[in-house]
Each structure stands twice: as structure tokens, then as C-alpha cells.
Chain A
Amino acid sequence: MTIDNDKCTGCSACITACYVENNVSIVGEKQALMHREMTWLRIERYVGDGDDDASLDSERRPIPSGETLGGTQVRHLPMLCQHCGAAPCEAVCPVIATYHNDEGINGMVYNRCVGTRYCANNCTYKVRRFNYFDYGRKNWPGLLGLMLNPDVTVRGQGVMEKCSFCVQRIETARQPAKDAGKPIADGAVKTACQQSCPSDAISFGNVRDKASAPSQRAQQGAARAYHALQVLNTRSAVTYLGQVRREES
């Protein structure tokens, strides 16, 4: 996946699409205040020139002190599971509930998860979400269950979840490709966030295929390309293209 931060307007359509596509639970105000939101994708806002003072009274969210009404110096960073090639979460799970498949997807086996939450501690991007309650049953009781996406499991109480790169869409695309005896074509799979992004900031595909859309974009924007926290060498599968401020360009 390649995400062009310069195109991101922070409109959060991707987040909404993700909630709908992946049956992500809504936790309510009280729980959200305890930072227990289940969102698989969040948009981080960085204000100012990036020299954050990490002021002690700021409980969370980067440097609110830098933000002024009408200010435009905001940088957005859509943050989701990076599907790291050397994922810190995978090594520490005692039951192999999170693992790497040979397509590079960092998978979650909900049925296997016992909820030690070590993966979430060790995730450097903090994109893993824990089901503190049986949110599914509370959110969609009875017939409301019909509004759920039937291709995606509703996670039960006490398990970890996170972005799956819309693995159900990949699986849907796999069968026709298999019938034709070809690999899944570039562009055959669109993730929900990508599909809903009005400014086309997100592109998804096989990053090992140099001709694929995300690889092409990363090459074209090579001067701006980076991995989040790449100093930690997690070999993340998401390439970001840095935002350029107008006075810089």
C-alpha cells in the first residue's frame, strides 16, 4: 500500500468506509474517552513544524497546543496496520494467533486469540484494538445483525483485532484469478479505504510487483517516500509519501 499524505485532506471517509466494510464496533462516548475506540484506521494530525514539545499536560493527540483556529499548518498521517515484514506483534504472541502469510499479510486468527494483549504492547504503531466487551452483541442485537458485512467475522469479547488490508476482498478476487490461471491482476482488489478516498491518496496492490500501482507511485514520489518509524526496521508494507508544504516546494 502506498499512501500519499500530500493528497490526504483528513476528511475521514476512509475511516467510515472501514467501519462499514469490516464490521468494526462502535464503542460509545465513555469508552472512546478511555481510548478504547476500535477503529482500524485513524488519521493522526500533526500541527506546526513537527517540533513537538510533548507537553506534559497534553493527554493525547499530538501537540494540541500548536493548533490555532483557522490554522492550516496541519499534516495528516493515516495510520493503519503496516503489515510489517518483521512484525514485532507476531513474535510475541504465545499462541500464534497473529502470523504472516506468504502474501505478506499480517493475519489475525480471532478464534485462536486468548487476549494476552502482548501484540498490542509491542506494536510500534499502536494500531491493534482489543475487544474489552462483547461489543458485537451490543452493537447489532437481533435483526440488526443483517446490516453486517457477511464476509467479515464479528469479533467476540476478549480478542485482538486490527486492519486486515480487507482480506475478504482479496479472497473474493482470488477465485476468478485462479480460474483463469493467473495471479490476481493489479487493481482487481480495492480496499475499502482506498475505494472511498475522494482524493485518491491510497493505492493498494502487490508491492513486490514493480509495475503495480503502489510500487509505481512509490517510485514516482521516491523523494518523498518513507516508512513510518523506519528506524525500527519493522519493514512495513505501507509506503508514505510525505506532505509538502507549499512554501517548501
Chain B
Amino acid sequence: MAPPPATAVADAMNPPVRPQDSQANIDIMAVTKGFHWPWLIALLFALSGVGLAAATLAWQTYEGLGVAGYQAPVFWGVYIITFVFWIGIGHAGTLISAILYLFRAKWRNAINRGAETMTVFAVLTAALFPLIHIGRLWKFYFLLPYPNQRYLWVNFKSPLLWDVFAVNTYLTISVLFFLVGLIPDIAIARDRAVGWKKVVYTILSAGWQGTGKQWKAHSRAVLHLSGLATPLVLSVHSIVSWDFAMSIVPGWHATIFAPYFVAGAIFGGFAMVIVVMVPVRRIFRLEAYITDYHFENMSRFILFTSLICGYAYGAEYFIAWYSAVEFEQTSFWQRAFGPYWFSTWCMIIFNVVMPQALWIKKLRTNIPFLFVLCFFINLGMWFERYVIIITSLSREYIPAAWGLYIPSLVEMIVLTGSFCWFSMFFLLYLKMFPIIAISEVKELDIHARDHARHDAHAAHASGGAH
């Protein structure tokens, strides 16, 4: 299917008064200027959460992982759940910036920067969790294949090692992509900054002057990085899913895991974009740039990926029954009706049932509704990983070794801390760099103006003929 022309998209957005180019600079840069109470309160809250979590983690490292709620046979808990959760969140950004870029879906232009920012910080958050989770944090470098005299090497057969590479690759590419995309906007910030900020912006803007040659090089760079990032959207979460699928644990050992996780990641990621962008738009008055049209498009993505998730949930149960493997059947029975039934039904209701409301256009453009829905979707996605990890592990092959896991206070503090850590970065970013890609928003306007001029000509010509 051919992508819709940019002009049609720009028309569809149809803000009451489309801001002029110079106005866009001012409006969007205004986010970084001035003083916003909600921002300060949020930042203080985030910082205290990060501090508390850091202290808790220091204690955990000193005392031992026993302070977390692990109970045999559940050896993975909230930390791994939260790792998968944040890695998933980090997928929407790259999808929006790379895949939608390659498909020339121009509507992404106003939200792509926010989504990319979210990606980078979500991956930064996720990358902490494998470290938090291991028993001997101080030996984390054993996981890297570094040359050493004792010929110790890593196990390339282990999915956990693939994870190390997948996450690091993803972090590298998304940071690069993010920084390259930022260059023209940093240049705008540079032109308005004074003092030490000017020095930082000057370095980051890499000598950007906005010449034709630079624009050409820039768009080539973005294109190539999109090409690199696109397969990563699919590969990273596939590899994360293989942490489970490659094992022998009933409930984990399933071939559907890779597409299932990727769809879930995009689903949860888009929900997170909405949860983050709704308050940002409201507090910083960006309604002229991020319109209902954007939210509606994202809702469509959410609806679509929700259906894929629903299919995957159904397929898992069907295959468990159809396989006639008792272990699988028991595992899935335990999921729905065992001691963790609560998490399973939360997952199904939040991720599959509730998003069906998005079939209705009025609800797709109802921002408060979307915000609440997306909050529940994020909760549902966290529960999805809870279901997969905890219920599968708690009741495996040998009934003599069954057990129940209850997260401890320590894990809850760290989980909250991860949200604070993410918010801290995001809030600081808001005050330092433009949250909307100014140059790309302008690009849309230019297309629209060309189109308008073209239309006027055409009307004139046809009018003359009559």
C-alpha cells in the first residue's frame, strides 16, 4: 500500500491556526525556558525515588539477594519482569523513528522525538536490571567476552549472552540515531543559548549551519541509521523472548514467543508514548503541534497490536491443549486458575478486552480516556511478563518442588525507582532539548504550503478553462 502523501496528512491534522516557522521555534523552545511547577515537583519526586532505590540496592548488594522475595523454585522475579517491561517500552520509539520513517509516514514527525527520547531512556533503565538481578554484581564483567590470561570465555550458547549483545547493540544504535536526529534542533537551541549552555550545544550540534549540503548529508545519515535500526526493532525483543523460549520450562518453551514479544513491545511502547506525551502536551501547551490526529494514529497501532497480543494469548492456550503435553497443559491451567489467576486476568482484561474500545473513533480522540486506557495497558504489559515468568516457574515438572513467590518491599522500591530513574532523565531532557523535532514539523508545513500553492494553480487553471 502506498503511504498517504504528506500533504494529505498535514491537511488532516488541520490545527485551527497553523503556527508559522519562526513561531514553531519559539513555541517548542519555550518548553526549555521558563519555570513550570509540575515539572519541578515531578523532578523532585523522581530524584527522591532514585535516591531511595539506590540506597536499597546498595543494601541488597551488601546483604545478598535474599532481601528480595525469591522463593525456590522461582529464581527470577520482579527484576527480570521489569527488565523485559522496559525493553518493551523502548521499542515504540525506534518503530516510530525508523520504520515509520522508511514508510514515509509523515504523521510521525511531531511525536518521533518524544518517542525516541523515551526509547533511549527506557533502554537505559532496562539495561540496569540484569545487573541488579545477578547474585554477584561486582563480577558483572564476567558476562563480557574480554581477553584474559586464564582463557575464560563466555558461553555463546546461552540466550542470556545473546541478550548482552542485543541490548548493547540496541542501546548504541538508538543513542546514535537519537543524537544524529537532534543535530538541527540543537543548532536552534545553540543559536538562542548563552554561557556554558552555548558551549555544550555547540559541541553537540556538530557545526550545523543548515546548508543544503549539510541537510543532504543529514538525511542520508538518518536514512542509513533507520535501515540499521529497523531490524533491531524485531531482533532485540525476539532475543529477549528467547531467554524464555530457549529454556525447557513449560510455559516458556514456545516458538510463538518472538513475534508475541515484539507485538507486545510495540503495543506497550505506544501506550507509554501516550502516557508520557499527554501530560507533556498539556503542561507545555503543545496542542498546536501534537494533535488529536497523532493520538488517533497511535491508538490504531495500539488496537492492532492488541489484537496480535490477544491472538498470541489464545494461541498459547490452544497449543498447550493441542500438544497433549501434560506439563504444558498443567502450566497453562495454573496460569488461569492457579494461585496467580489475578495476574493472568489483569493481563487479558487490560491488554485485550479494554483496548477494543478503540474501535470507536470518538474514544480514539478522547485524550483523557486514552491516557487512562494506556496507563492500564502498561499495567497489563507488566502483568504479562509477571504471568510468563512467575507462573511458569512456580509450578514446573516436579510437584515436590513447587513454590510461591511474593515480591518483597525491596523489589517494589526498586521497581518504583526504575520509573523515577526514567522520569528523571526525561524531565531533565525536557528542559535541555526540544521535545518535538522542530525541523521535521517545519518540513510538514513546507509540504503543505507547496500543496496549497499547487492547488491554487490548479484551481486557477481549471477556472480559466471554463
Query: Which of A's residues lie within 8 Å of B, judged by CB?
Result: 31, 34-36, 42, 44-46, 52, 54, 56, 59-63, 77, 79, 88, 91-96, 112-118, 120-122, 124-126, 129-134, 156-160, 229, 232
Contacts and interface: CB of A to CB of B under 8 A. Distances in A.
Contacts, number: 153
Nearest to A117: B75
Given A60-B403, A121-B247, A232-B397, A116 B337 contact: no
Contacts of B243: 118
Interface in B98-127: none
**Interface residues of A, dominant DSSP:** loop
Interface in B398-426: 398-404
Given A121-B249, A126-B401, A116 B160 contact: yes
Contact of B158 (A34, A94, A126, A134): A94
Per CB-CB distance, the 5 closest pairs between chain A and chain B, nearest first, are A115-B135, A158-B135, A132-B66, A126-B401, A44-B400
Interface stretch (B138-146, B169-177, B457-465): B138-146
A159 to B, nearest CB: 6
Contacts of A117: 75-76, 135
B158 A91 contact: yes
Nearest to B397: A124
Interface residues of B, number: 49
A229 B76 CA distance: 23
A134 B403 CA distance: 23
B71 interface: yes
Interface of B: 63-66, 70-73, 75-76, 130, 133-137, 139-140, 142-143, 152-155, 157-161, 164, 243, 246-249, 330, 337-339, 393, 396-404
Centre residue among B72, B142, B247, B338 by max chain A CB count within 10 A: B72
Contacts of A158: 64-65, 134-137
B87 to A, nearest CB: 16
A158 B140 CA distance: 12
Interface of B is mostly: loop
Contacts of A112: 142, 152
A112 to B, nearest CB: 7
A106 to B, nearest CB: 14
A132 B246 CA distance: 26
Given A96-B153, A115-B136, A159-B135, A56 B337 contact: yes
Contacts of A113: 135-136
Nearest to A115: B135
Given A126-B72, A132-B66, A157-B64, A62 B135 contact: no
A157 B136 CA distance: 7
Contacts of A94: 143, 154-155, 158, 160-161, 164
B341 to A, nearest CB: 9
Specify which of A59, A112, A132 lies most central, judged by the most chain B CB atoms within 10 Å of its CB. Answer: A132
A35 B72 contact: yes
A122 B142 contact: no
A79 B401 CA distance: 10
A208 B205 CA distance: 69
A46 B164 CA distance: 42
A159 B135 CA distance: 6
Contact of B402 (A36, A60, A122, A157): A60
A111 to B, nearest CB: 9
- Chain A CB count within 10 A is highest, among B63, B135, B143, for B135
Contacts of A125: 397-398, 401
Contacts of B137: 158
Contacts of B247: 88, 92, 118, 121-122
B136 A118 contact: no
Nearest to A121: B75
Interface centre among A63, A92, A113 (most CB of B within 10 A): A92
- Scoring A42, A95, A116, A232 by chain B CB atoms within 10 A of each residue's CB, the highest score goes to A116
B402 A133 contact: no
A34 B71 contact: yes
Contacts of B164: 94
Nearest to A109: B152
A114 B134 contact: yes
Contacts of B246: 92
A195 B310 CA distance: 56
Contacts of A130: 65, 70, 72, 75, 135
A99 to B, nearest CB: 9
Contacts of B63: 133
B58 to A, nearest CB: 15
